[in-house]
Copies of this chain bind each other. A is one copy, B any other.
Amino acid sequence: MSDQKAQAATGGREMALRFQDGLVKYGFIVVTILLFVYFSATEETFRNPNTLFSMLKFTSVVAIAGLGITFTMVVGGLDLSVGAVAGLSVTLSAMTMVFYNQQGGVAIVVVLLAGALVGLFNAFLIVILKIPDLLATLGTMFIVMGLKLVPVSGQSVSSGMTLRDGSIAPGKFTSDFLLIDRANVGPVPFPVIVVLILTILTWFFLTRTKWGRMMYAIGANPEASRLAGVRVRFYHGLAYVICGVFASIGGLILSSRIGQGDISAGSSLLLDAVAVALVGTSVLGLGRPNAWGTALGALLIGIVITGLTIKGFPYYAQDIAKGVVLLVALIFSFTLSRRKTRYVSAT
Chain B residue at minimum C-beta to C-beta distance from A278: B135
Interface 1/0s, chain A 303-327, versus B by CB < 8 A? Answer: 0000000000011111111111011
From B142, B223, B318, B327, give the contact of A1 (CB < 8 A).
Answer: B223
Whether B142 contacts A322 by the Cβ 8 Å rule is yes
Q: How far does the Cβ of A325 sit from chain B's closest Cβ, in whole Å?
A: 9
Whether A143 contacts B320 by the Cβ 8 Å rule is yes
Q: How far does the Cβ of A297 sit from chain B's closest Cβ, in whole Å?
A: 12
* Complex CA distance for A141 and B149, rounded to whole angstroms: 28
Q: How far does the Cβ of A202 sit from chain B's closest Cβ, in whole Å?
A: 21
Interface stretch, picked from A31-39, A104-112, A123-131, is A123-131
Whether A324 contacts B143 by the Cβ 8 Å rule is yes
A49 within 8 A of B: no
* Complex CA distance for A326 and B347, rounded to whole angstroms: 15
- For A145, list chain B residues within 8 Å (CB): 316, 319, 323
- For A316, list chain B residues within 8 Å (CB): 145-147, 149-150, 154
From B2, B132, B320, B331, give the contact of A226 (CB < 8 A).
Answer: B2
Q: How far does the Cβ of A28 sit from chain B's closest Cβ, in whole Å?
A: 15
Q: How far does the Cβ of A52 sit from chain B's closest Cβ, in whole Å?
A: 24
Whether B323 contacts A143 by the Cβ 8 Å rule is yes
Interface 1/0s, chain A 325-347, versus B by CB < 8 A? Answer: 01100110011000000011111
Given A139-B326, A143-B327, A154-B316, 4 other A-B residues pairs in contact with their CB atoms under 8 A: A2-B223, A4-B130, A142-B271, A145-B323
Main secondary structure of the interface of A (DSSP, over half): helix
Whether B138 contacts A278 by the Cβ 8 Å rule is yes
- For A92, list chain B residues within 8 Å (CB): none
Whether A3 contacts B130 by the Cβ 8 Å rule is yes
- For A330, list chain B residues within 8 Å (CB): 125, 129, 131-132, 135-136, 139
Query: Could you list 13 A-B pairs, sorted by A, with CB under 8 Å?
Result: A125-B327, A132-B330, A138-B271, A139-B330, A142-B275, A142-B322, A143-B320, A143-B323, A144-B323, A146-B317, A146-B319, A147-B316, A345-B347
* Complex CA distance for A335 and B136, rounded to whole angstroms: 12
Chain B residue at minimum C-beta to C-beta distance from A321: B146
A134 within 8 A of B: yes
Which positions 144-170 of chain A face chain B at CB distance < 8 Å?
Answer: 144-147, 149-150, 153-154
A140 within 8 A of B: yes
Whether B323 contacts A141 by the Cβ 8 Å rule is yes
A180 within 8 A of B: no
* Complex CA distance for A335 and B343, rounded to whole angstroms: 25
* Complex CA distance for A140 and B326, rounded to whole angstroms: 9
A265 within 8 A of B: no
